[in-house]
Amino acid sequence: MFDLLKLRKQHGYQSIPDIRNVRLMETHKGYPLIDESKWKKEYSGLKDVCPTNAIEFDPFSIDMGKCIFCGECERVFPGVVKFTNEHKVGCTTRNNLVITGSTFEEFRETAIESERKIHKLFGHSLKLRQVSAAGCNGCEMELNACSNVNFDMGRFGINFVASPRHADGIVISGPISKNMAPALMDAYNSVSTPKIVIAVGACAISGGLFAESAELDRTFFNEIKVDLFIPGCPPHPLTFINALLDFLGRK
Amino acid sequence: MDWTEIKNLQSVLLKDVPLLSFDKLREQLINSVKSGKRLVQFFGNEEKNEVILYVVLADDQQSKLYLTSAKFKSEKTFDSLTREIPSARLFEREIYEQFGIKPEGHPWLKPVRRGIAGINSQEPQYEFFKMGGDEIHEVGVGPIHAGIIEPGHFRFSCYGENIHYLEIELGFQHRGVEKLFLQKKNNPVYLEKLAESICGDSVIGHASSFNSAIESLGEISIPRRAKLIRAIALELERIAVHLGDLSALAGDVAYLTGNAVFGALRTKVINTTMAICGNRFGRGLLSAGGVNYDISPELRDNILSTISRLDDEVSLAAEVYFSSASVLERFEKTGIVDFETALEIGMVGPAARASGVAIDVRSDHPFGAYDFFPVHKLTLKSGDVFARAYIRFIEIQQSIRIINEQLNNLTEGGLKKNFSSLKPNRLVVSMTEGWRGEIVHVVITGAKGEIKKVKIKDPSFHNWLALAIAVRENGISDFPLCNKSFNLSYCGFDL
């Protein structure tokens, strides 16, 4: 009994009080800043530096939908790329994930469009069904962490639920293997409309490291529109929660 | 000598690998396993018009590995080993699935990975095992499960609430990892990142296994400081996952204090990894030749004080957790895997150690920093959920001690060594003790030093069957508990 009380005291209060404004440590790799004036000619043969082909030269751009935030380009092109610790990198349109040289503030202005309709429908309660379609367990662990005592996403009325029938939308992780393609479509179809689709991580958004594998079936995205993209490998829980809150039009 | 004797991470010329007739190999393999050696790897590699089957055996007491091979040209069958060596069952099924070479007399030649492009995709739809009897009902779960977890299918045959039999069907996660290693063999950066994504909860384990194999083939020895940083990251990964599992196990028995406390402690550990390399799971930290990030003196002091606090916090939390009646009532005598079974089916990692099988790559076949920081093997006997949970706790304590020792001996030195090419026509076996157990990567190079084969074995490869055995004659409501006590990887198995 005394040990239990001691444990409660040791545990203390673990929730992050201000999820909207908390900063991540300096080492975190978030939004990339690009300074093309530092570009050197000898770099032009080094396209293989990026393992997921997220980089385009001339003009220099990084596609955060493909980027795994490994920082190789930062090391090889010093000064040209600088990963900041800005973690709010979620977007509602695929094109906005391609970063050319805008500042983080400029990026944020158009990154997430929140519609009145979405706010009205889901603004105060959103239940999500997560489908891992060949995800490596990285994104899955971070999505689980969203509901732990530190991040406590439930405080905003956002929860993960077991049945797609109880859900307002699905959260997809992984590059979508052939074997998971039908199950993913079944899960999507089991969610009643109106519903939202969220793609989490480089794999779900673009195939990521597995984009060139013959074992994927990404036709799901030919038919279904993604409402919210959460880049990262895996995305930090704060990236996911903040993107959702912005998308729902919450303060 | 019909077997080449090697050590973990010691590369060998392909021409020095003996080539036996399969019958001879079979006989010697059976005798070796009977005399206490362990089957570590058994796989095929297609070259021109022939398939070479490689076998790797381990002598864990002597820290030695034994390697041999057999060639298959036109013959399409061999005498199955599974009846004599049960741990060969999956290897043989995989060889049949990938090359069509049939192990005659295999007790159950079903697909390893569901319907992937291979031999079995041409066979009629696989039928699950069926139990007879009016009172038997089946419960099918998955591929999509209730929580946020990877997909797989479980088929329970139950009598009332008791599970008589569980069949596990995997392969839903198949991403073609081994093929991608060859497809992109000319892009070393890509290969490093791919190794980190084989299994997202064992980033350091798989990256360390793959990069060490590459370094061995490149004949370089990485700086001592890099070895230490790798080992620290590997132990942090072990602590983090073990804490996460203790938290999830508490959640499964509705013990919310344990769920919250261990969950919060895990966050501190993965944030420590993030302080080192910017990623909570250690992605990007390892690189062929060393590590990409250093531990500064300030960071070193921070980690030291974090883990010393963690030691006290975990001890108090575990004291409360493992003396709670509601926890013990559910954990004890649930999901038992006995010692003989564990040995027979080739279990590895903490799950095997919880059943009394004393294997741990860190002390049996030391690699990297474990060469100069020996690890004492921890085992328990009961093989139930309690043992698999309690071993997490004592391994956390052990890892804290290891990190402490290594941080205090973090001598100055370089982080990374450059090397140009891999030595041609070689094979290396690289074993690492990830938090889940023995991770094995076998890498083979061709005539120009190009990578010709990467064979990956996640610890889950052996341990999934252990879960299926553990749940027999347990209530179906205890399945989540048993499952979590193993916490096996779907993508590590499916590749």
What is the value of ipTM here, to two decimals?
A: 0.92
- Yes or no, beta carbons of B281 and A132 under 8 Å apart: no
pLDDT averaged over consecutive 10-residue blocks of chain B (495 residues)?
Answer: 88 90 90 91 90 93 92 86 91 89 88 66 68 88 89 91 91 91 90 93 95 93 92 95 95 91 94 93 92 93 94 93 92 94 93 94 92 90 94 95 92 85 93 94 92 94 94 92 94 92
Report if residue B131 sits inside a domain.
no
Quick one: B107 and B191 in the same domain? no
Report if residue B136 sits inside a domain.
no
Which residues of A are less than 8 Å from B179 in CB distance?
Answer: 213-215
Here the CATH number for the domain that contains residue B228 is 1.10.645.10
**Whether A171 contacts A198, CB under 8 Å:** yes
Q: Give the whole-angstrom CA distance, residue B242 versus residue B392.
A: 5
Which residues of A are less than 8 Å from B187 in CB distance?
Answer: 48, 51
Quick one: B267 and B390 in the same domain? yes
Per-residue confidence (pLDDT) for residue A113, from 0 to 100: 87
Phi, psi dihedral angles at A230 (to 5 degrees): -120, 95
The amino acid present at B196, given as its one-letter code, is E
Length of chain A: 251
pLDDT (tens digit, 9 = 90+) per residue, B126-151?
A: 678 888 888 889 898 888 998 899 99
The amino acid present at B428, given as its one-letter code, is V
Quick one: B338 and B457 in the same domain? yes
Which of A132, A148, A176 to probe by mutation at the B interface, max B CB count within 10 Å? A132
Q: Is the pLDDT of residue A104 over 70?
A: yes
Quick one: B82 and B186 in the same domain? no
Report if residue B493 sits inside a domain.
no
Per-residue confidence (pLDDT) for residue B59, from 0 to 100: 92
Quick one: B208 and B304 in the same domain? yes
**B460 touches A: beta carbon within 8 Å:** no
End of a domain among B78, B112, B146? B112
The amino acid present at B187, given as its one-letter code, is N
Which of A141, A144, A216 to probe by mutation at the B interface, max B CB count within 10 Å? A141
- Yes or no, beta carbons of B115 and A179 under 8 Å apart: yes
CA distance to partner chain A, nearest, from residue B96 (Å): 19
Quick one: B108 and B187 in the same domain? no
**B190 touches A: beta carbon within 8 Å:** yes
Report if residue B122 sits inside a domain.
no
Quick one: B108 and B186 in the same domain? no
- Yes or no, beta carbons of B279 and A69 under 8 Å apart: yes
**Whether B452 contacts B182, CB under 8 Å:** yes
Burial class of residue A232, CB neighbours in 10 A (0-12, 13-18, 19+) = buried
**Whether B345 contacts B383, CB under 8 Å:** no
DSSP 8-state code for residue B66: E
Quickly tell me which residue has 């005598």 as its tokens: B333
Report if residue B130 sits inside a domain.
no
Task: Work out the pLDDT band at A79, boundaries 50, 70, 90.
Answer: confident
Report if residue B482 sits inside a domain.
no
Per-residue confidence (pLDDT) for residue B120, from 0 to 100: 53
- Domain ranges, residue B89: 4-112
Closest CA to B193 of A143, A54, A59: A54
**B449 touches A: beta carbon within 8 Å:** no
**Strand positions, DSSP E, B235-302:** 286-287, 290-291
The DSSP code sequence of A12-44 is ---S-S-TTT----TT---SEEE-GGG--GGGG
Per-residue confidence (pLDDT) for residue B169, from 0 to 100: 87
Which of B187, B197, B272 to probe by mutation at the A interface, max A CB count within 10 Å? B197
Partners of B52 in beta bridges: B45, B71
Report if residue B389 sits inside a domain.
yes
Per-residue confidence (pLDDT) for residue B117, from 0 to 100: 52
For the domain made up of A116-247, give the CATH fold. Answer: Rossmann fold (3.40.50)
pLDDT (tens digit, 9 = 90+) per residue, B194-250?
A: 999 999 999 999 999 999 999 999 989 999 999 999 999 999 999 999 999 999 999
Quick one: B94 and B202 in the same domain? no
Quick one: B343 and B431 in the same domain? yes
Q: How many domains does chain B have?
A: 2
Which residues of B are less than 8 Å from A215 in CB distance?
Answer: 116-117, 174-176, 179
pLDDT (tens digit, 9 = 90+) per residue, A187-242?
A: 999 999 999 999 999 999 999 999 999 889 999 999 999 999 999 999 999 999 99
Burial class of residue B426, CB neighbours in 10 A (0-12, 13-18, 19+) = buried
Report if residue B329 sits inside a domain.
yes
How many Å from the N-terminal Cα to the C-terminal Cα in chain B?
A: 35
